[in-house]
Amino acid sequence: MPVININRNDFCRLIGHEIPMKTIEERIPMLGVGWEGTEGEEFSIEVFPNRPDMLSVEGLARAFSSFMNIERGLREYKAEPAEEFLIVVQPKVMNVRPFIVSCVVKNVDLSDDLIRSVIQMQEKLHVTHCRKRKKAAIGIYDLEKISFPLTYTTEKRTFKYVPLEEKQEMSLQEILEKLPKGKDYAWILEGMNEYPILLDSRGKTLSFIPILNADENKIDNKTKNLFIEVTGTDEKTVTEVLNIIISTFGDRGAKMHKVKIKYPDTGIIYTPNTSPKMMSLEPKYVNKILGLNLRNYEIIEYLQRMGHDAVEINKENIEVTIPIYRTDIMHAMDIVEDVAIAFGYENFEAVIPNISTIGEENPLEVFASRLRSLMVGHELQEVFTFILTNKKNLFNKMNVKETEIAETANPKTEEYNVVRNWLLPSLIEILERNQHHEYPQNIFEVGDVVILNPYTDTGTETKKRLALAMCHSKTNFAEIKSIVESMMKNLGINNYKIEEAEHKSFVAGRCAKIGIDSIELGVFGEINPVVLENWKLEMPVSTAEIDIDLLQKLI
Amino acid sequence: MHKYPFINIMSIMSSDKIIQQLHENEKRVLKSFKSKKVLSADELSKITKLSKEAAEKAAEWGKQKNLISIKENVSEFLELTIEGHEYSKTGLPEKRLISVVSKGMDEIETLKNKIPQFSIGLVWINKNGWAEVKDGKILITKEGMESLSRKLDEEELLAKVSKNTKMSRDFKRDIVDKLIRRGLIRIRTEVNREYALTASGKKIESQIKLGKEIGQITVDVLKKGDWKKYGLRAYNISTPAAKIHPSKKHFMTQVIEYIRNVWTEMGFKEMSGPLLEVSFWNFDALYQPQDHPARDLADTFYMKIPSEGQLPEDEITQAVKATHENGWTCNSLGWQYSWNPNFAKKSVMRTHTTTLSVRTLAQLRKDVDKGALPAKYFSVGRVFRNEVLDWKHLAEFYQTDGIVVGEDVNFRHFLAYLKRYFAKLGFEKARFRPAYFPYTEMSTEIEVFHPEQKSWIELGGAGMFRPEVVKPLLGKDIPVLAWGPGLERLVMINYDIKNIRELYWNDLKQLREAKIWLG
């Protein structure tokens, strides 16, 4: 999640109050922002994905000021009507990146603080809410260097202009292949024949969207008036992002003007749309969910502490006006949460409800636990291993043929790229790793394996197994057999059958399967020296692996 | 250890009394210094005809009675750690990496998957100046090429230590230190002792007669009644006893069983379900939009086999789809995008056990109006994240999920259940901060106060399921309290483990010596 850095002095200037670092550190987490730490007058915070409006110092100061009861209630942002700023959207861009919203921002004092904040916000918004510029991307330009009307269109990859911070013209193709920004974001344009471009009335390129602006119209510290556009593939997101940006400039005292956008089919719209969202809230619902008994005026005050406005329509209804920069409110529950945050999570009195229910463990887990106790009674130490492993461990090293098993598609390491379908290899691996420790090493595990099964909804079955391994100089078939038989007898099973079995992991003639009637429960015996050699083990091992899902069902 | 100042008691005891308390082996030891004043353990064993261990033990008892003095010479030897042991067999990761790179395979993306311990190798070839990384490729430097043809000091040292159990520290100091820092070797100390008689030892030595006396009460002693004739020797009860290590359940199991108990005590019913899940249950049913970063390849194990699973009954699938797209009948705006059933079918290794909670809600659907509520459920289960393993990260770990479903449950109840759970784990103080998860609202981050470390520890997320999660599954918008804190940090705190990988190392010495979980 994104971390942003804030200068405390700038933060306090925006709030209009001196707030000590200690207070900020104590209170910010209770507003729903992660505290990362301080360095001198700077502090860092982690902004959660539901509140992209706090990705700038302006947004954070705005929220904090209300929360601390310094300036509560709704902040409104107005954009002056204007006809002179027109963007014409060409039909061919509609298949590629169909949405554009825009705003003209005048009278901006581009101080270092603001430039820093805007760049940081733009960057973090791009990564998070804009999904790495795919869903939305922001462009900011010097208004004075642009001639209206603009055209939002597409151009071929041979189209050329001088990109930001470059001296010479480059083709779109070259930009994608050579410049860092081009390489980073080329994936967004994959499969397109033509790329989105924003041109001004003189045919000059403003931007290769969503990759890189032109050098000519970049902002500098003399810039007073800005042109801002947000393009993207999702109408909701571009609108939200534009609203977050203009709130930021609005808090710095800039004046907003509307931009007229002419779409090929749906006609003309004006952006930004600065009318706030309304939502109605039942106080009864708030109190039910939170377990509180708040009066309507209290709920209204708490909502104002979160930057909303609210009025009581009648006893049963409060009408909430939600600021334009809040993108996360989609259900009344989101407003209830705001009330809870303003009330303070630390102020809730915890209470166990008067609900009577009967506790119940999963019978298979209970059985597994009993088997573990039984194995410990046989002086075996339990081990606890990973479920993910690799084919080499499961098949090659165990001297058995590869079968189809559950396999990951995108592992970060080849060591862990399949899901184990039997348990023994995990135990042998533990023995291999512990050769420098004292013997005997008699170990067991009750663990899960995953078996493919096309008849279930996941295409697999998660099964519990018990595996034992006796490893010391005198272990043999007789030893493992007596443990397996002891286990069966302790479970009250006397009608089990032991038959000779063939299994390449075991010594031929020293391997048996155990079962009841026609149901096979597992296999045991002496491990084949071929396997021991594969694992570089120089100590004999006898082992067993038992299906305990089945075993439990038979009891 | 000892509350009694033995030496003082001994000094006021009569010689007779002291001799009466001597074990036969002690007497033999005290009688051994006829020809030589100072003896090694081996010499002592030879003269007394006792095993070395028994002779040393007897001498130790003598020391506690101030009859024998022991001088300890400590020597230090090097030994391999588990990781060192592995590299002594397979070679150092940096050497393996550079050798593969020298054969022309230089793409980081390919190498990452091909070479075990790739990232460790990369760090060291960088540090050693063997290679540079440029444009996702590894370029070997001159030093790198040169390193291929020679045996490194590090390799030499590893080889030496693996062959020689008495390898001293006399090797290039910086190399020894470096490998210790890398955690490949560690220092093992060995103590050699020299024994001599003290002044009081000399004084009583001549009065000691070696003769029959009864220590161990045997069947024979009892049958013949010898103990009446000879009497039983008094033991020095402060003598250290042999260390034994019983077999145990693994400490993770002990913790898991304890936690399962805690929940059942509180009236919760256990849930279980598949490790390999359909994305639908892992993400979509939890109202995670399909372009949510948590669904990225980077964090989640997607499956090649089986690549997809089945969506649940149409009624639920359609409700979830509509909720994502437009809020359905949840009184929500929804995420407002077009929901793709093919994304929801993709198989994953479950990234949280909250899958079990939502599957349970879907199962409760048919009984909602038949008195099934209120209901409380829990699970303790393994979850998976696509991570490269290091001291802070595992690809597999544990989570305990819980839900309380009931028309009248609220946020204050939620806080109370979690507080009670953590109190049962020994954390009396728990606090909650607002947080964010796509499927809960309120969302909180839980912190507990660690009384010894005097600090707050983050233990995971919790909240109340959003109506957009509950209604499509349960068929009704009913409050659901939900949580899913992790287990590993609790275990690490309790067992003072710093490196998270140690939890699943299964070092048998560590397991044998670990204390049992006391909650």
CATH of residue B39's domain is 1.10.10
Domain tally for chain A? 4
Give strand pairing partners of B347.
Answer: B278
Residue A137 burial (CB count, 10 A):
27
What number is the average pLDDT over the span A542-547? Answer: 98
Residues in chain B: 519
> Which of A416, A78, A388 lies closest to B388 in space, CA to CA?
A416
Least CB-CB distance to A330: which of B309, B327, B384? B327
Residue finishing a domain among A217, A252, A271: A271
The residue assigned the tokens 């952006």 is A271
The predicted structure's pLDDT at residue B1 = 41
Cβ-defined contact of B309 to A364 (cutoff 8 Å): no
Residue finishing a domain among A22, A42, A67: A67
State yes or no: cis peptide before A149, omega within 30 of 0: yes
Q: Is residue A352 in some structural domain?
A: no
Q: What is the CA radius of gyration of chain B?
A: 33
Judging contacts by C-beta atoms under 8 Å, the chain A residues touching residue B512 are 381
Closest residue of chain A to B297, computed from CA coordinates: A410
CB-based contacts of A379, cutoff 8 Å, min separation 6: A442, B246, B247
Question: Which tokens is A350 given?
Answer: 């915890």
Phi, psi (5° rounding) for residue B467? Answer: -55, -30
Q: How confident is the model at residue B145 (pLDDT cuts 50, 70, 90)?
A: confident
CATH of the domain at B483: 3.30.930.10
Closest residue of chain A to B479, computed from CA coordinates: A289
Q: Is residue B319 in some structural domain?
A: no
Give strand pairing partners of A445.
Answer: A467
CB-based contacts of B249, cutoff 8 Å, min separation 6: A372, A373, A376, A382, B257
Please give, rounded to a whole number of angstroms, the shortest distance from the CA of A357 to a CA of chain B.
5
Q: Indicate if the pLDDT at residue A183 is higher than 70.
A: yes
Question: Which tokens is A46 given?
Answer: 């982690």
Judging contacts by C-beta atoms under 8 Å, the chain B residues touching residue A240 are none
What number is the average pLDDT over the span B7-26? Answer: 69
Tens digit of pLDDT for each residue in B214-272? 888 999 989 998 888 887 877 777 778 888 889 999 999 999 999 999 999 999 999 99
Cα gap B128→B151, rounded to integer Å:
14
- Using a pLDDT cut of 90, give the percent of chain A over it: 93
State yes or no: cis peptide before A440, omega within 30 of 0: yes
CATH of the domain at A118: 3.50.40.10
CB-based contacts of B519, cutoff 8 Å, min separation 6: B258, B424, B425, B426
Cβ-defined contact of B382 to A345 (cutoff 8 Å): no
Encode B124-156: b = buried (16+ Cβ within 10 Å), e = exposed. bbeebebbeeeeeebebeeebeebeeeeeebbe
In angstroms, what CA-CA distances link A158 with A94, A131, A155, A190, B67?
21, 27, 8, 16, 98
Judging contacts by C-beta atoms under 8 Å, the chain B residues touching residue A48 are 435-436
Cβ-defined contact of A458 to B277 (cutoff 8 Å): yes
Half-sphere exposure of A414 (CA within 13 A, CB side): 12
Phi, psi (5° rounding) for residue B257? Answer: -65, -35
Tens digit of pLDDT for each residue in B469-519? 999 999 999 999 999 999 999 899 888 888 898 899 999 999 999 999 987
Q: Is residue B294 in some structural domain?
A: no
Judging contacts by C-beta atoms under 8 Å, the chain A residues touching residue B336 are 234, 236
Cβ-defined contact of B412 to A430 (cutoff 8 Å): no
Q: Kindly state whether residues B437 and B377 are assigned to the same domain.
A: yes
Q: Kindly state whether residues A336 and A438 are assigned to the same domain.
A: no
Q: How confident is the model at residue B7 (pLDDT cuts 50, 70, 90)?
A: very low
Give strand pairing partners of A86.
Answer: A260
Q: Kindly state whether residues A129 and A36 are assigned to the same domain.
A: no
Mutation site, A36, A128, A333, interface B, largest B CB count within 10 A: A333
Question: Which tokens is A499 given?
Answer: 């038959």
Domain tally for chain B? 3
Q: How confident is the model at residue A89 (pLDDT cuts 50, 70, 90)?
A: very high
Tens digit of pLDDT for each residue in B417-444? 999 999 999 999 999 999 999 999 999 9
Q: Kindly state whether residues A380 and A404 are assigned to the same domain.
A: yes
Q: How confident is the model at residue B11 (pLDDT cuts 50, 70, 90)?
A: low
Q: Kindly state whether residues B103 and B225 are assigned to the same domain.
A: no
Question: Which tokens is A249 given?
Answer: 């400039």
Query: Where does B353-485 show beta strands of DSSP type E?
Result: 375-384, 396-405, 430-434, 440-450, 455-465, 480-483
Least CB-CB distance to A357: which of B252, B327, B374? B374
Cα gap A105→B330, rounded to integer Å:
38
Q: Kindly state whether residues A30 and A94 are assigned to the same domain.
A: no
Question: ∠ CA B88-B85-B122 to the nearest 5 degrees?
Answer: 65
Cα gap B300→B294, rounded to integer Å:
8
Half-sphere exposure of A117 (CA within 13 A, CB side): 29
Judging contacts by C-beta atoms under 8 Å, the chain A residues touching residue B116 are 413-415
DSSP output for A306-324: TT-EEEEEETTEEEEEEPT
CB-based contacts of B206, cutoff 8 Å, min separation 6: none
Q: Kindly state whether residues A118 and A58 are assigned to the same domain.
A: no
Mutation site, B295, B390, B433, B478, interface A, largest A CB count within 10 A: B433
Q: Kindly state whether residues B141 and B21 are assigned to the same domain.
A: no
State yes or no: cis peptide before B306, omega within 30 of 0: yes
Cα gap B261→B378, rounded to integer Å:
11
Question: Which tokens is B396 given?
Answer: 């597999």
> Which of A196, A226, A213 lies closest to A100 in space, CA to CA?
A196
What number is the average pLDDT over the span B343-361? Answer: 97
Give strand pairing partners of A142.
Answer: A226
Judging contacts by C-beta atoms under 8 Å, the chain A residues touching residue B253 are 372, 382, 384
Q: Kindly state whether residues B199 and B267 are assigned to the same domain.
A: no
Half-sphere exposure of B428 (CA within 13 A, CB side): 3
The least confident of A78-92, A484-498, B200-214 is B200-214
The predicted structure's pLDDT at residue B102 = 83
Q: Kindly state whether residues B506 and B390 are assigned to the same domain.
A: yes
The whole-chain average pLDDT of chain A stands at 95
Q: Kindly state whether residues A200 and A229 are assigned to the same domain.
A: yes
Q: Kindly state whether residues B116 and B180 are assigned to the same domain.
A: no
Q: Residue B79 is part of which domain span?
A: 1-85+161-241
Q: Residue A324 is part of which domain span?
A: 281-347
